[in-house]
Amino acid sequence: MAIQHVMVIGAGQMGSGIAQVCAMRGMRVTLQDIAPEFVERGFSRIEESLVRIVKKGGLSESASRDTLASITLTTTLDAVASADFVIEAAVEKMDIKKSLFMQLDGLAKPDAILATNTSSLPITEIAAVTSRPERVIGMHFMNPVPVMQLVEIIRGLQTSEKTYRAVADLAQALGKTPVEVHDYPGFISNRILLPMINEAIYCLYEGVADRDAIDTVMKLGMNHPMGPLQLADFIGLDTCLSIMEILHDGLGDSKYRPCPLLRKYVAAGWLGKKSGRGFYDYRSESK
């Protein structure tokens, strides 16, 4: 199917990034969130990203203007009715996603594909609340979306081959590399990444080494661009905890048990870069 109009639900970091890459490829995009300040903040994030790309010579000024002009902002779901492809990038809570997909199912045209950018929640369970489970799929972009090439495409139990093919083609049209994944907790990326981060937190918790030593070992010894504790701060410690809980609950193995120190930091409101403090202190940066 030809995807010309994309509706993005959620104008946060992931949603605005998805809207940007779709608009840069000439698609008409509607970016939605529940409050005007949220969509305006998302649009500002896109503007700032495009300025950086233009400065680096990756895009012309006129192409940047065209990209911004192709994005419509809204706080309603009305535009779902005309969208060929709807992708949800809202908060990682199953009850919210189920409620949203029930609404989207009732509003979207029969041949529209409904996708979720979830990083770990089961696609089959989300699809089950709709009347079109064969047209529901996971499309997990990496952060930051305009930079990272990978997209995990997750089939639910009833996702059709036609739907998978259309979404894989869309990923390639966006300049991304699609990887097919089946519907298991954490998929591939977070099933491997988050236990590594959790183990790094255990190393800190148990006094194996201090924060800087742990991150330095992984950067210089394993050639990672960022240490696991710093990466956890950038992901958000609340998000890390949520994914570890999904892995622990879904797979039932004690090796996925979230570290108590991770729970303590989240309880304290130390969520990482977005809150100003996590394993590192970012408060001076905000000043």
Q: Which domains does the chain have, with CATH numbers?
A: 5-182 (3.40.50.720), 189-278 (1.10.1040.10)
Whether residue 144 has a cis bond before it, omega within 30° of 0: yes
Distance CA 276, CA 287 (A): 10
The residues, ordered by sequence, that sit 6+ positions from 35 with a Cβ below 8 Å of its Cβ are 75
Label the pairing between strands 150-155 and 136-141.
antiparallel
**153 in Cβ contact with 138 (< 8 Å):** yes
Say whether 12 counts as a known binding-site residue: yes
Distance CA 200, CA 179 (A): 27
Label the pairing between strands 5-9 and 150-155.
unpaired
Provide the 10 A C-beta neighbour count for residue 136: 26
pLDDT at 286 over 60: no
Q: 3-state DSSP call for residue 166? A: helix
Among residues 152, 198, 242, 275, the one annotated as catalytic is: 152
Among residues 117, 190, 242, 275, the one annotated as catalytic is: 190
Provide the 10 A C-beta neighbour count for residue 68: 14
Q: Is 152 a catalytic residue?
A: yes
Beta bridge partners of 5: 28
Say whether 274 counts as a known binding-site residue: yes
pTM, 2 dp: 0.91
Q: Is 190 a catalytic residue?
A: yes
Among residues 117, 119, 120, 275, the one annotated as catalytic is: 119
pLDDT of residue 2: 84
pLDDT per residue as tens digits for the range 155-209: 999 999 999 999 999 999 999 999 999 999 999 999 999 999 999 999 999 999 9
Say whether 230 counts as a known binding-site residue: no
Say whether 97 counts as a known binding-site residue: yes
Say whether 276 counts as a known binding-site residue: no
Q: Is 140 a catalytic residue?
A: yes
Q: Is 284 a catalytic residue?
A: no
pLDDT per residue as tens digits for the range 66-94: 999 999 999 999 999 999 999 999 988 99
